[in-house]
């Protein structure tokens, strides 16, 4: 995706994101309130207090095709268990107690925050286009960190890890 093309889709996409977060604002709870034991060892108290999670039956996915972005149709139809927009992530109800899943989406929250929405969306779209969902660089970073979280009790600063990988 060229920067010119991205500039065309960015305003309607951002508008959709803001309207979606607004619509779920009362249903969303802070991650801190979910009371997971390990997340505070990897993320700052501030991050866990400012990040929100909404448990839903159906994940809200932007209507990319109707915005004219037809080449992400696989992503649009994908059956995911979670997705992150800015400081809020959405999880299927079945993942409510899945701490690793919360960890994975928190990695995306840090990516959104450090890159800003324009650079996050541009990088995410290009990653999807070039490598597919699972091998896109922002997903590889989240899956690798999630694996480090689940496979070992060694504590690391997840926010610094993301900052280092993005720099
Ligand atoms: Zn992910």
At residue 81, the pLDDT reads 94
Q: Is 152 helix (H, G, I), strand (E, B) or coil?
A: coil
Give residue 105 CA to ligand 1 midpoint distance, Å.
6
CB atoms within 5 A of ion ligand 1 belong to 139, 142
Strand partners, 54: 90
Q: How far is the CA of 155 from the centre of ligand 1 (A)?
A: 21
Say how many Å lie between the CA of residue 143 and the centre of ligand 1: 7
* Nearest CA among 88, 110, 102 for reference residue 27: 88
**Residues linked to residue 56 through DSSP beta bridges, in sequence order:** 92
Q: pTM for the complete prediction?
A: 0.97
The pLDDT tens digits of the residues spanning 28-81 come to 999 999 999 999 999 999 999 999 999 999 999 999 988 888 888 888 888 899
The torsion angles phi and psi of 53, rounded to 5 degrees, stand at: -130, 135
């Amino acid at each position: 995706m060229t920067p010119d093309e991205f500039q065309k889709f960015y305003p309607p996409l951002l508008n959709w994101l803001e309207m979606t977060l607004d619509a779920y604002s009362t249903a969303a709870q802070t991650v801190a309130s979910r009371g997971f034991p390990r997340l505070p060892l990897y993320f700052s108290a501030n991050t866990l207090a400012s990040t929100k999670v909404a448990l839903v039956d159906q994940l809200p996915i932007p209507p990319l095709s109707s915005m004219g972005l037809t080449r992400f149709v696989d992503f649009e139809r994908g059956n995911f268990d979670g997705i992150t927009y800015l400081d809020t992530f959405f999880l299927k109800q079945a993942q409510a107690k899945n701490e690793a899943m919360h960890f994975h989406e928190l990695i995306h929250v840090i990516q959104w925050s450090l890159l800003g929405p324009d650079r996050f969306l541009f990088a995410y779209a290009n990653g999807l286009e070039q490598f597919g969902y699972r091998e896109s660089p922002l997903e590889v970073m989240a899956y690798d960190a999630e694996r480090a979280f689940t496979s070992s009790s060694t504590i690391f600063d997840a926010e610094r890890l993301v900052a280092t990988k993005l720099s």
